[in-house]
A and B are shown apart, each in its own frame.
Chain A
Amino acid sequence: MDHFDADILILGAGGAGLRAAIAAAQSAPESTIALVSKVYPMRSHTVAAEGGSAGVVQDHDSLDNHFNDTVAGGDWLCEQDVVEYFVEHCTPEMVQLEHWGCPWSRKPDGHINVRAFGGMKIERTWFAADRSGFHILHTLFQTSTRFPSIRRFDEHFCVDLLTEDGRAQGAVVLSLSTGEFTAIHARAVVIATGGAGRVFRQNTNGGIVTGDGMALAYRHGVPLRDMEFVQYHPTCLPGTGILITEACRGEGAFLLNKDGNRYLQDYGLGPAEAKPRNKYMELGPRDRLSQAFWHEQHKGRTLTTPQGEAVLLDLRHIGSARIKERLPLICDLAKQFMGVDATTMPIPVRPAVHYTMGGILVDIRTASPLAGLFAAGECSSVGIHGANRLGSNSLAELSVFGRVAGEQAALFARGSSAARRSDRAVDVAAKALALLDQKGAGERHAVLRAEMGASMEKGCGIYRLGPEMQNTCETLAELRKRYARITLEDKSRAWNTDWITAIELGFQLDVAQAMAHSGLARTESRGAHQRLDGFEQRDDANFLRHSLAHYRSADAPTVTYAPVTITKSPPGQRAYGALGEHEEAASKDVSPKGGRPPAPKDPAHV
């Protein structure tokens, strides 16, 4: 097999991976950076993000506000020191992107325009029409071509990490076009491979979002943190799960049930007003909106469409001109996939899995417990999202922690000895090749993937029940056994996607197990993990802690717990709408040492 020596290896060339590569190239110009991606960089799923990226700019806004919104949005499961670092660095990173050419939307005077977004008290979401992720990704990719020290391995699939002497020392990658292996040896490795939403049946994610890097780190002993927290985006097209951006709601769209009512006011997010109001109604946080849908569905107030139950996202009152200017992609999607003209008809939408809050355990420097292994972006759990992510914090995360990862990896590489050319690489390749010839029951892996997706949707949905999660855990264990006996139809080497997607399924099953077991173990409700089986309340006494899932090969993972770093924001009640304003006012009247007034009962749980 071929060998390649690099100083820094970056797995994944989406927003975080590209930002890390650029940061490494800038901070250590003499280093060789290998940037590996299983797709050409511009296909990375960052491209599909629509709404925008957060960064405090307005005079009446503050870092404290962004901090508080984020921590409350995360239901106090955030690493608050990391959030403090994060909010401080968002705006400079957005400025950096603009300097690199990112076509942020502007006010008439040429300054950056910001829009309202769910769960944010004051508008601070920078946006590029409704294609923010697309523009950020293309800006980063095109800028990265400036640096000859970044050596790209496009359409190379990472089959496994190479670890030696307790250190990450590279990876074995497979060229999609030839089916041949290359061992890349590096002094530091950054994983930026994205989330794992494809383990669920209905999701907004592209086909490539299969948790590859999460599974690899996990299998090498790095815990996956907070995996039970999976975000359902409330407005996605039924059936395909295609994302309809939160920006629609930022521009003032309403969510209506089949009777034409703005039902969110029944769930503690009201009162309903004509104009959008931050943290009220449709601008509440995503978990609350998805939960409201679930309740409406159970009350029989959702619309039945050929692709399943839905509610209506009504943009009409925003006006045709503004819709076409601010939300052009949404118009196209509604037309092509639902046959709906968004300027004259409401769009059927429903929640679908969108984002993985949890991921590879890393600290504020993006360093994992495995020496030399760093992670950034959706694949990581750096601690800013907690139990529920606020929209537009994820694109900002890519830049802020992508940069940190690149710089830290470069620093680590500079202080490390050269990577040893491991014999392990040959074993890794052999194991991957063995899948080609695997003889077993002759089952198609597509069948297993469908069963996994259905089981995760049922057991780890918007609301969870112990017995259902237990079922899912058992199903996943059974699927893993069946996976060991699948046969591939395609035994060739060149562009064998049967083989690649089978390897991806292996990754997905491991990550799904971490999600299901972590969910089962958390006997409380917090953020995106909501239970209806006697554990409906938040339990700070026992569960103001992060979950850590530990890989145990053929057995189910074990789940342990780690404390949460609290600095400035003691755990409070997550309240939005008028309740939120009441809470905020009340908390200002009470000294930090005093008690809090009792929170109104959450109507969603009656």
Chain B
Amino acid sequence: MSERRPFHRPQPRHWWAHKPYRAYTVRELSGVAVAVYGAILLVGLFCLWRGPDAYAVYRRILASDWSFVVHAVLLAAVLWHVVTWFEILPKTMPKLILRGLQLPQRQVTAMARLVALVCSAALLIVVVALGAMS
């Protein structure tokens, strides 16, 4: 029987609230925000299915002040989700070698964010145009 007696230190219970993990925690919560917003849209679809009265109620709630605040927060969170999503994107890909040099990960992120921005802008224009026409 030797002297050896390894000591197990438990993982700090609130590791996710401390540096350097806070950024990760905020990112993950932004994913929850996306889910919450998705649920709000789902409710809207459900009301639409239920009929014009139900949908009118939905739209009235949506137009309220606190709904505006909630949506502002959710928009910020979703935008943050988009930003951090593309930060992870190059980590999920093998190294891209162009002409002998590795394409830096921040360039991949920048290009992806640009594409997302362009697509979102295009979608927004289409939606607004359709709305204006109807």
Residue A599 at the chain B interface, CB threshold 8 Å: no
Residue B2 at the chain A interface, CB threshold 8 Å: yes
Chain B interface SS verdict (over half):
loop
Tell me which residues from 178 to 212 in chain A have a Cβ below 8 Å from any Cβ of chain B.
178-180
Tell me which residues from 153 to 198 in chain A have a Cβ below 8 Å from any Cβ of chain B.
175, 177-180
Residue B4 at the chain A interface, CB threshold 8 Å: yes
Please measure, in the bound complex, the distance between the C-alpha atom of A213 and the C-alpha atom of B4, giving whole angstroms. 27
Residue B65 at the chain A interface, CB threshold 8 Å: no
Please measure, in the bound complex, the distance between the C-alpha atom of A177 and the C-alpha atom of B7, giving whole angstroms. 13
Please measure, in the bound complex, the distance between the C-alpha atom of A178 and the C-alpha atom of B5, giving whole angstroms. 9
Please measure, in the bound complex, the distance between the C-alpha atom of A175 and the C-alpha atom of B4, giving whole angstroms. 11
- Shortest Cβ distance from A515 into chain B, in angstroms? 37
Please measure, in the bound complex, the distance between the C-alpha atom of A565 and the C-alpha atom of B5, giving whole angstroms. 55
Please measure, in the bound complex, the distance between the C-alpha atom of A177 and the C-alpha atom of B2, giving whole angstroms. 9
**B1-14: contact bitstring with A at CB < 8 Å (1 yes, 0 no)?**
01111000000000
Tell me which residues from 1 to 38 in chain B have a Cβ below 8 Å from any Cβ of chain A.
2-5
Could you say which residues of chain A place their CB within 8 Å of the CB of B3?
A: 178-179, 492-494
**B91-128: contact bitstring with A at CB < 8 Å (1 yes, 0 no)?**
00000000000000000000000000000000000000
Could you say which residues of chain B place their CB within 8 Å of the CB of A175?
A: 2
Tally of contacts, chain A with chain B, CB under 8 A: 15
**A117-134: contact bitstring with B at CB < 8 Å (1 yes, 0 no)?**
000000000000000000
Range, interface on chain A: under 10
- Shortest Cβ distance from A180 into chain B, in angstroms? 5
**A68-106: contact bitstring with B at CB < 8 Å (1 yes, 0 no)?**
000000000000000000000000000000000000000
Please measure, in the bound complex, the distance between the C-alpha atom of A500 and the C-alpha atom of B28, giving whole angstroms. 48
Tell me which residues from 477 to 518 in chain A have a Cβ below 8 Å from any Cβ of chain B.
492-494
Who on chain A is nearest to B2 by CB? A178
Could you say which residues of chain A place their CB within 8 Å of the CB of B5?
A: 494
Who on chain A is nearest to B3 by CB? A494
Range, interface on chain B: under 10
- Shortest Cβ distance from A107 into chain B, in angstroms? 12
Who on chain B is nearest to A180 by CB? B2
Please measure, in the bound complex, the distance between the C-alpha atom of A371 and the C-alpha atom of B5, giving whole angstroms. 41
Could you say which residues of chain A place their CB within 8 Å of the CB of B2?
A: 175, 178-180, 493-494
- Shortest Cβ distance from B33 into chain A, in angstroms? 41
Who on chain A is nearest to B5 by CB? A494
- Shortest Cβ distance from A377 into chain B, in angstroms? 31
Could you say which residues of chain B place their CB within 8 Å of the CB of A492?
A: 3
Please measure, in the bound complex, the distance between the C-alpha atom of A175 and the C-alpha atom of B2, giving whole angstroms. 10
Could you say which residues of chain B place their CB within 8 Å of the CB of A493?
A: 2-3
Please measure, in the bound complex, the distance between the C-alpha atom of A179 and the C-alpha atom of B2, giving whole angstroms. 7
Please measure, in the bound complex, the distance between the C-alpha atom of A179 and the C-alpha atom of B4, giving whole angstroms. 8
Please measure, in the bound complex, the distance between the C-alpha atom of A492 and the C-alpha atom of B2, giving whole angstroms. 11
Could you say which residues of chain A place their CB within 8 Å of the CB of B4?
A: 177-178, 494
- Shortest Cβ distance from B120 into chain A, in angstroms? 38
Could you say which residues of chain B place their CB within 8 Å of the CB of A494?
A: 2-5
- Shortest Cβ distance from A542 into chain B, in angstroms? 56
Who on chain B is nearest to A176 by CB? B4
Could you say which residues of chain B place their CB within 8 Å of the CB of A178?
A: 2-4
Please measure, in the bound complex, the distance between the C-alpha atom of A201 and the C-alpha atom of B3, giving whole angstroms. 35
Please measure, in the bound complex, the distance between the C-alpha atom of A493 and the C-alpha atom of B2, giving whole angstroms. 8
- Shortest Cβ distance from A567 into chain B, in angstroms? 46
Please measure, in the bound complex, the distance between the C-alpha atom of A178 and the C-alpha atom of B2, giving whole angstroms. 6
Who on chain B is nearest to A494 by CB? B3
- Shortest Cβ distance from B100 into chain A, in angstroms? 8
- Shortest Cβ distance from A336 into chain B, in angstroms? 21
Please measure, in the bound complex, the distance between the C-alpha atom of A605 and the C-alpha atom of B16, giving whole angstroms. 67
Please measure, in the bound complex, the distance between the C-alpha atom of A326 and the C-alpha atom of B116, giving whole angstroms. 38
- Shortest Cβ distance from A113 into chain B, in angstroms? 14
Could you say which residues of chain B place their CB within 8 Å of the CB of A180?
A: 2
Who on chain B is nearest to A108 by CB? B100
- Shortest Cβ distance from B67 into chain A, in angstroms? 54
Could you say which residues of chain B place their CB within 8 Å of the CB of A179?
A: 2-3
Please measure, in the bound complex, the distance between the C-alpha atom of A179 and the C-alpha atom of B1, giving whole angstroms. 11
Tell me which residues from 435 to 488 in chain A have a Cβ below 8 Å from any Cβ of chain B.
none
Please measure, in the bound complex, the distance between the C-alpha atom of A493 and the C-alpha atom of B4, giving whole angstroms. 8
- Shortest Cβ distance from B40 into chain A, in angstroms? 51
- Shortest Cβ distance from A398 into chain B, in angstroms? 31
Who on chain B is nearest to A178 by CB? B2
Tell me which residues from 53 to 108 in chain B have a Cβ below 8 Å from any Cβ of chain A.
none
- Shortest Cβ distance from B58 into chain A, in angstroms? 59
Please measure, in the bound complex, the distance between the C-alpha atom of A389 and the C-alpha atom of B2, giving whole angstroms. 45
- Shortest Cβ distance from A265 into chain B, in angstroms? 38
Please measure, in the bound complex, the distance between the C-alpha atom of A444 and the C-alpha atom of B4, giving whole angstroms. 26
Please measure, in the bound complex, the distance between the C-alpha atom of A492 and the C-alpha atom of B3, giving whole angstroms. 8
Please measure, in the bound complex, the distance between the C-alpha atom of A180 and the C-alpha atom of B2, giving whole angstroms. 7
Please measure, in the bound complex, the distance between the C-alpha atom of A574 and the C-alpha atom of B79, giving whole angstroms. 71
- Shortest Cβ distance from B1 into chain A, in angstroms? 10
Please measure, in the bound complex, the distance between the C-alpha atom of A563 and the C-alpha atom of B6, giving whole angstroms. 55
Please measure, in the bound complex, the distance between the C-alpha atom of A494 and the C-alpha atom of B2, giving whole angstroms. 8
Who on chain B is nearest to A492 by CB? B3
Please measure, in the bound complex, the distance between the C-alpha atom of A175 and the C-alpha atom of B3, giving whole angstroms. 12
Please measure, in the bound complex, the distance between the C-alpha atom of A265 and the C-alpha atom of B57, giving whole angstroms. 92
- Shortest Cβ distance from B21 into chain A, in angstroms? 26
Please measure, in the bound complex, the distance between the C-alpha atom of A166 and the C-alpha atom of B3, giving whole angstroms. 36
- Shortest Cβ distance from B92 into chain A, in angstroms? 25
Please measure, in the bound complex, the distance between the C-alpha atom of A492 and the C-alpha atom of B4, giving whole angstroms. 10
- Shortest Cβ distance from B3 into chain A, in angstroms? 4
Please measure, in the bound complex, the distance between the C-alpha atom of A186 and the C-alpha atom of B36, giving whole angstroms. 68
- Shortest Cβ distance from B101 into chain A, in angstroms? 11
Who on chain B is nearest to A177 by CB? B4
- Shortest Cβ distance from B4 into chain A, in angstroms? 5
Who on chain B is nearest to A175 by CB? B2
Please measure, in the bound complex, the distance between the C-alpha atom of A160 and the C-alpha atom of B3, giving whole angstroms. 23
Having A175-B2, A494-B2, A494-B5, one finds 12 other A-B pairs with CB under 8 Å, namely A177-B4, A178-B2, A178-B3, A178-B4, A179-B2, A179-B3, A180-B2, A492-B3, A493-B2, A493-B3, A494-B3, A494-B4
A selection of 7 A-B contacts at a CB cut-off of 8 Å is A178-B2, A178-B3, A180-B2, A493-B2, A494-B2, A494-B3, A494-B5
- Chain B residues close to A by CB (< 8 Å): 2-5
User: What are the nearest 5 A-B pairs in CB distance?
Assistant: A178-B2, A494-B3, A178-B4, A493-B3, A494-B4
